[in-house]
Amino acid sequence: MIETSVVTGTGSYLPSKVLETSEFPEQLRVPERVAAKIGVNKRRQSYSPQGFECRDEDMGYLAAMLALEAAELEPKYLNRIVVISATPTRLFTPLKEEAAISLAGAVDQEEFDSLGLNDGYGSSPAHILASRLGVSRDCWASYHFEGCGSLVWGLDEVHRMREIFRRTLIVASNTSSSFFYSINPASLDENDRLNANIFGDGAAALVVQTWPVVDGMERGIVSSQGDFDFSDSPVSTTVVDHWNPNESYPGQFKFHVEHRKVLKSAPAYMQGTMERILSESGFTLKDVDHFIVHQASMATLEALLKLARIPREKVPINVDKYGNTSAASTGIILDEGIRSGRIKKGDLAMVLGAGGGFPGWQYGGVLLRV
């Protein structure tokens, strides 16, 4: 029996706070010509110096609940959970020096408990989500510390494992705003200011189920590809100068994004993936109803449309109002398109993404019958 992967539910969450580019504090502003090229007029922001409106794991949970509701699936029936984020709420386990030394050797359970590590810090975001959802003990939860292209890459992975995991929840979230306000102003550089203007906060979730292919069926993944390129990387991380191992995230490290490299290479990765998928599936550019593409910036999006000759009217755009929401971007576009009625059942959608895979490039594409 032939089976395929069907996206049966989508969900997304965006913080309520809208930050206009004109409202940025002086230390985060970029020249007007640069801001115009970036093309992000506003973005959603979860973090401020006063604290979080909604943490990374909370946004992922809320998006997941909406996706499960849309799929009419109870969490207890999930076989697998995949959580993707480069900005998780809990990144480091705050250990005192003696605790770290104790962990380096063999410790018994009583000694381990005395270290106070059972407070949730350092726990995998996937296991935290699994616990909040109340999934069964048989559900496999995995976390991927990856960037912009990882939701599409993860969707390809789930499709390839559809015979093993028949009901999967994929969640991607991004709270990059926490990096900009928690960094000491003296540590800010040009890259930090560019990041602040480009990125926005948000989360998306997809429920993917394995269904048998029957006559007349007009849903499911037609073709998919996911790949890495370790020859180069557009993203690296740096520990900031005021990092304290006894403090918890945020503010402990920052991202360095090679934005010129992204502008040059991301469109090429997505265009190449798109051409391979179309060639293998037998479809043409004209057959595709919607192109759901990762939007690193308006400049990167325009470069992709020109390179791949994608009709602009087939591309839902949200980078201007949400910014680059990293791995969540394509999921948010797909969810909003379905809920608004722009993307309808039976439509053919090409989902494309490319970005940092820590290390290297991570990219992929999925041709999906919605």
Peptide bond into 250 cis (omega under 30): yes
CA distance 8 to 342: 17
CA angle 209, 210, 216 (to 5 degrees): 105
**Domain count of the chain?**
1
* 298-332 per-position pLDDT tens digit: 999 999 999 999 999 999 999 999 999 999 999 99
The pLDDT of residue 338 is 98
Report residue 169: phi and psi, to 5°.
Answer: -110, 120
Is there a domain that residue 247 lies in? yes
pLDDT computed for residue 48 by the predictor:
76
The per-residue pLDDT for 322 is 98
- 336 in a structural domain: yes
Question: How far is residue 362 from each of residues 33, 128, 174, 223, 273, measured CA to CA in Å?
Answer: 30, 25, 17, 18, 11
Residue 112 lies in a domain: no
Residue 55 domain flag: yes
In the predicted model, residues of the chain with pLDDT beneath 50 are 92-109, 111-122, 239-251
Here the tokens at position 87 are 């900005």
Could you tell me the CATH number of the domain that includes residue 77? 3.40.47.10
Are 348 and 311 contacting, i.e. CB atoms less than 8 angstroms apart?
Answer: no
Judge whether 261 lies within some domain: yes
Rounded to 5°, angle at Cα 120 from 100 and 11: 135
The reply to whether the predicted model has a pTM over 0.85 is yes
DSSP string, 153-187: HHHHHHHHTTTT-SEEEEEEEE-THHHHHHS-GGG
pLDDT at 360: 74
316 is a domain residue: yes
pLDDT number for residue 159: 96
Cα gap 274→269, rounded to integer Å = 9
What digits encode the pLDDT tens for the residues 181-220? 666 666 678 888 898 899 999 999 999 999 998 876 779 9
Residues 53-73 have pLDDT tens digits of 888 999 999 999 999 999 999
Q: Residue 115 falls within a domain, yes or no?
A: no
Domain of 157? 3-96+120-369
Element containing residue 18 per DSSP (H, E): strand 18-20
